[in-house]
Chain A
Amino acid sequence: MNAAPRSGIRRLRRPLDRRARWAMGILVVAVLAAFLASLSIGDRLISPIRVVEALFETQGGVRMVVVDWRLPRALAALFFGAALALSGTVFQTITRNPLGSPDVIGLTTGAYTGALIVMTTGGSSGVAVSIAAILGGFATAALVAALVAGRGALGYRIVIVGIGVSAVLAAVNAWMLLRARLEVAVSASIWGAGSLNGVGWQQALLPIVIVSVLIVLLALSRRGLWLIELGDDIGTSLGGRINLTKAGLVAIAVGLCAVVTAAIGPIAFVALAAPHLAKLIVKNGPLHLVATALTGAVLLSAADIIGQNAIPGHALPVGVVTLVLGGVYLIFLVVRTARQRF
């Protein structure tokens, strides 16, 4: 019991070893590659060199394609992927469960519910939909927290209760879609699949700014996250006001995931998978939040590129791609950890 926290603290203070430096380097390269690829690949292929040139041009057709059309989408994929990944890592740390990520416990479904309430009652303004989605995410978090409160260690309980809550909300969503006019239903379903299609500067800018602010807040409170990771008792004895810290971190994490859902719809499994993959890459070093964010950015970007180009002539929503790939990853994860843990 005593060795664990001490080694934990040592681990946090330890400078990066050679392996971690390599891993971080590779992650940064991967992010840049994904970014360039999403600017280059599309209906019209533009060579990466031409893309870089176009970024510094002030006018012209290529500039319009790259800067006005593809850049906001590419940036949104990177920032939103990072946001989901960080939200996931906070939730997984606080629930002490590798599966306790916001999409598994129903927060994205709840955000979708909030958005649908506004969309199907005739609200068309993007701001109203976004606010409703964020409120929906927070309300769902509060509901799940209330349902598991006072029941001892969280463990798998929060996952099972979360699956139940998200099932009820999914039924609510299905019902609202069914009652909606067909045009509303079609557009809401496409949004509900989680899509970056048609994301321009107008849709991307504000969420990117909010997400950035939240990421900065999270970075400032990362010490609290480490204390929680060490366990409540140890965290408290090391001087953390654990409950306050937890509340603040949960608020940031719900915010991150809800803003993304509000902007582009529910995205499955990035929040779940990115923290695990990042851990595989850099272990639990001091930079694991950075690695997690970078991994999430790569995952969402790559999934979006796949979705846009996998089937010629059809753009699949990025959420469908993450749902399928992430589901396969979850199966792998469950089978693998089950052999070791349960």
Chain B
Amino acid sequence: MTSLARTRRDPSRSSAGRVALVVVLAAVALVVAAGIGLTVGTKLVGIDSVIDAIVRFDGSDLQLVVRESRIPRTVFGLLVGLSLGAAGAVMQGLTRNALADPGILGVNAGASVAVAVAVAALGIHDFPALMAAALTGALVATIGVVLLGSAGGGSPVTLVLAGVALAAVLGGLTTALVLLNPHAFLQMRSWESGALAGRDLSILTVAGPTIAVGLVLAFAITRSLDVLALGDDTAAALGVRIGPLRTGAVASVTLLAGTATAVAGPVAFLGLAAPHIARGIVGSSQKAIVPLAAVIGAIVVVLGDVVGRVVIAPQEVPVGIVMAFVAAPFLIWIGRRRNPVQL
């Protein structure tokens, strides 16, 4: 088992040519997905019209749709997908747990309950304040679930179950807040199902930098995560400082999952699925998995949003619900494996 794991982790297996191929294919797929996100919807728009709408804006209805709806949705889809894919990969690497996902472990629920408090109890509606609330909630939930997991002896199953329980409690509190405040009910109903529609590009000024910092942090710790896969003691002996690594990972997951939740509502299971797909493509090095999972996440969210737009047009299925359909079966698939929690 150990020798097999080591072979799979051997970086020499992914030759330079293979790495280049994966990078090129991922980049192409990302561009294609973004193109589909911009052009496909209830109305098909040519890519030339999209470019026209950006550089030669004439105020026509079609160009308005592109500028006001298609572009923001695609941009936010990319950001949310990058965030959740990377956050899931970091969580799986840190906890060495195949079931780690910001949704399953209650991080998104923490962000949700904080947003519900902000909306229902404090009457806050502007985006920076809501995002600050979401980040605080995500941070508290992340620290909480890590503490609970380690209080239970650090077993992977414990971590997952503690996360599910935490998510349940936080979900119950959200429901209570929303039911007590009919105004919040309306606002939370669409937000909670995870939607990219109706988000103004101006929130990029807040969400963009946060996600960028989270991604940089996530990429910075991948080498340490790889060493950590050998076990805490070995990693420490090899010079990884476990404490700072944990802190960095928690900070990165918080920034990524919290911001993604603030932008799109709680989107579950993408953070679970994307790293598994990435692992299937590039093997088990976190250095490759984290960026690839981020790209896969972005592709899946943008395409998922398109599917949600067209599948019951003119109505829409929010992307969070599409993601549950696409990615939750991964959980079932992992659950059916011989050893469900092993990476």
Residues of A within 8 A of B (CB): 99, 147-148, 151, 156-157, 159-161, 163-165, 167-168, 170-171, 174-175, 177-179, 182, 185-186, 189-190, 193, 268-269, 311, 314, 316-317, 320-321, 323-324, 326-328, 330-331, 334-335, 338-339, 342
Contacts and interface: CB of A to CB of B under 8 A. Distances in A.
Contact of B328 (A171, A179, A269, A338): A171
A320 B157 contact: no
A161 B193 contact: no
20 contacts: A160-B332, A160-B335, A161-B335, A163-B164, A163-B331, A168-B324, A168-B329, A174-B192, A178-B189, A316-B180, A317-B175, A320-B175, A323-B169, A327-B169, A327-B172, A334-B158, A334-B165, A338-B157, A338-B158, A339-B152
A311 B180 contact: yes
B175 A193 contact: yes
A202 B274 CA distance: 50
A164 B268 CA distance: 11
A185 B332 CA distance: 29
Q: Is the interface of A mostly helix, strand, loop or mixed?
A: helix
Interface stretch (B32-40, B126-134, B315-323): B315-323
B342 interface: no
Contacts of B182: 186
B181 to A, nearest CB: 10
Interface of B: 99, 104, 148, 151-153, 155, 157-158, 160-162, 164-166, 168-169, 171-173, 175-176, 179-180, 182, 185-186, 189-190, 192-193, 268-269, 315, 317-318, 320-321, 324-325, 328-332, 334-336, 340
Contact of A323 (B171, B180, B315): B171
Contact of B179 (A164, A167, A190, A342): A190
The winner among A165, A178, A185 for most chain B CB atoms within 10 A is A178
Contacts of A334: 148, 152, 158, 161-162, 165
Nearest to B324: A171
A161 B161 CA distance: 13
A316 B189 CA distance: 18
Contact of A324 (B104, B176, B321): B176
